[in-house]
Amino acid sequence: MSPTNVPAASSVLSVRNLAKAFGDTVVLRDIDLDVRRGNVVALIGPSGSGKTTVLRSLNGLETPDAGTVRFGAPAGGTATLSLDFSAKVGKKDVVAMRDRSAMVFQHYNLFPHMTVLQNVIEGPVQVHKQKKSDAIAEARRLLAQVGLADKADAYPFELSGGQQQRVGIVRALALKPQLLLFDEPTSALDPELVGDVLAVIKELADDGWTMIIVTHELAFARQVADEVIFMDEGVVVERGPAAEVLRAPRHERTRQFVRRLL
């Protein structure tokens, strides 16, 4: 690795020139993205602009056609991870990348036939080979943290959307990822349930979690994000500190979008 390629100690993620097409449709073009430890990046933009595809690419759910994704060393560790999608990327590297990040989905994606507790320990036990009793103890601690201590034995269908999403968040936290990825975490919720979920995410930000949040909640983005990135038609149009991009956007496209939502 040349010195310029060595990630700074505080770099969690560094993406360069990420590109993706589905057939003839170009969905992402030359996406660059940097996230430092403890920072929150809000990814905003119209529907279809490629935001979800960016997140899915970072979690191994889509395979980009080109570009590099580099994860810096985890806190206390030394192992960096680099994937160059312009070359052939091995399955092992994709699994390693998936291990560095954890996704919270718009529609929660909980296993319907498993209890809340079983949903949360599934990854730690099956994927990370954690001892079941340890995984259960940690799951209960995390559930208590989001106000769901009494729901451990409930099934997803017995919970409100907001509660299911909090389980989705706990399931991601239980994997101890370097980076949390939120894909429109509140857009499937009834309006009165949005606040609880946003409050949990805000707490995580205050606790120092590193995250990328795709969201249409611009007031929330202004509150929690260190950086806001506005995407349109597969490219990054504008990026900068949340206050600048949301209060005084430089580009007309950003201005129109923000005006409609704020």
Per CB under 6 A, 60 contacts ligand ADP: no
DSSP state letters, 167-220: HHHHHHHTT--SEEEEESTTTTS-HHHHHHHHHHHHHHHHTT--EEEE-S-HHH
Report the residue from 53, 57, 68, 119 that binds ligand ADP according to the rule CB under 6 A. 53
d(CA 72, CA 81): 7
Interface size with ligand ADP, residues (CB under 6 A): 11
Min dist. Cβ of residue 51 to ligand ADP (A): 4
Tokens found for residue 33:
């993205």
Closest to ligand ADP by CB, 55 vs 170, is 55
What is the closest distance, in whole angstroms, from the C-beta atom of residue 201 to ligand ADP in the complex? 18
In sequence order, the 6+-apart residues with CB closer than 8 A to the CB of 226 are 39, 40, 41, 241, 242
Q: How far is the CB of 258 from ligand ADP (least distance, A)?
A: 16
Residue nearest to ligand ADP (CB): 52
State which of residues 2, 3, 24, 47 lies at the interface with ligand ADP (CB under 6 A).
47
Residue 57 CB: number of other CB atoms within 10 A? 26
Query: CB of residue 147 vs ligand ADP: minimum separation in angstroms?
Result: 29
Angle between helices 191-206 and 161-173 (to 10 degrees): 20
Binding residues for ligand ADP (CB under 6 A)? 22, 25, 27, 45, 47-53
